[in-house]
């Protein structure tokens, strides 16, 4: 079953990554980036928390209101720290997606096939323009779908079902980030890459289920490019052998 295969390949990628020094180093780099960004942004919030609150609510003169003001100030600071954590994740993911994920997929491809296929010979400007043109719909389409599902949850009586659907969709989209690395690098057109995603949707849902587990999700996300590359290469080999 494709759903179970997705779970298996993400776990397989994690185990391969932990056993391979280069992959282990790159995978743990993402965790370090998250921590560094989180510490830096949280430090800024704590240092400027009073000034930030004054922008919303100036300190009152009443002693009772001052006490309430201080409680609100730290609640606001806590909220900002949580927000900074989210931004830290996004910043680290941006760096991770642009560089480290691609490096990990390249290393995995070399381990499996003995080499790598890339479109770099077309020239860096051509590659950048192609990827921009292909990645814009790849970002917009999933986000539009998730937004539509989320809105449907507010205005329909099917909230629990919507929550399940949106979670499965988020898992599949995160998984696609990893199985799409090799074809994107080979400059495969977006239409073909999206077709691959649709044809293996249950695999992507299963692959991404690990990302919904608190704490473990960071570890699996760090090494998911390995499992995604392994699956794509195996699928490609089966297709060519037919």
Residue 2's pLDDT is 87
H helix intervals, 121-186: 124-155, 159-179, 181-185
Report yes or no on whether pTM surpasses 0.85: no
Percent share of the chain, pLDDT over 90: 27
Residue 27: which residues within 8 A CB-CB, separation 6 or more? 17, 18, 100, 104, 222, 223, 226
Residue 150: which residues within 8 A CB-CB, separation 6 or more? 162, 166
Q: pLDDT: is 102 or 18 the higher one?
A: 18
Q: pLDDT: is 241 or 81 the higher one?
A: 241
Per-residue pLDDT tens over the stretch 178-208: 999 899 888 888 889 989 999 999 999 999 9
Torsions phi, psi of 158, nearest 5?
-105, 40
Least confident range of 64-78, 131-145, 178-192: 131-145
Residue 196's pLDDT is 94
Looking only at Cα atoms, what is the longest distance across the chain?
Answer: 80
Tokens of 37: 């960004």
Give the separation between CA 183 and CA 166, rounded to whole angstroms: 26
Per-residue pLDDT tens over the stretch 89-112: 666 766 666 678 888 999 999 999
Cβ neighbourhood burial of 48 (10 Å; 0-12, 13-18, 19+)? middle
Tokens of 100: 């480290």
Least confident range of 78-82, 196-200, 222-226: 78-82
Residue 114's pLDDT is 86
Give the separation between CA 193 and CA 184, rounded to whole angstroms: 8
Residue 139: which residues within 8 A CB-CB, separation 6 or more? none
């Amino acid at each position: 079953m494709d759903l179970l295969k997705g779970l298996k390949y993400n776990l397989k990628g994690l185990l391969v990554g932990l056993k391979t020094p280069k992959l282990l180093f790159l995978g743990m780099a993402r965790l370090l980036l998250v921590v560094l960004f989180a510490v830096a942004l949280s430090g800024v919030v704590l240092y400027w928390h009073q000034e930030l609150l004054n922008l919303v609510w100036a300190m009152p003169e009443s002693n009772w209101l001052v006490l309430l003001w201080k409680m609100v100030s730290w609640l606001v600071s806590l909220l900002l720290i949580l927000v900074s954590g989210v931004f830290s994740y996004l910043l680290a993911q941006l760096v991770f997606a642009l560089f480290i994920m691609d490096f990990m997929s390249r290393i995995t491809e070399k381990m499996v096939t003995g080499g790598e296929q890339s479109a770099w010979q077309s020239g860096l400007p051509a590659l950048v323009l192609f990827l921009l043109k292909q990645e814009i719909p790849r970002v917009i389409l999933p986000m539009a779908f998730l937004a539509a599902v989320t809105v449907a949850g507010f205005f329909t009586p099917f909230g629990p079902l919507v929550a399940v659907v949106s979670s499965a969709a988020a898992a599949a989209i995160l998984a696609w980030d990893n199985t799409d690395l090799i074809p994107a690098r080979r400059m495969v057109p977006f239409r073909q890459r999206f077709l691959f995603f649709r044809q293996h949707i249950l695999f992507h849902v299963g692959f991404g289920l690990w990302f919904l587990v608190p704490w473990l999700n960071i570890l699996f996300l760090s090494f998911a490019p390995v499992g995604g590359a392994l699956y794509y290469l195996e699928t490609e080999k089966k297709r060519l052998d037919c």
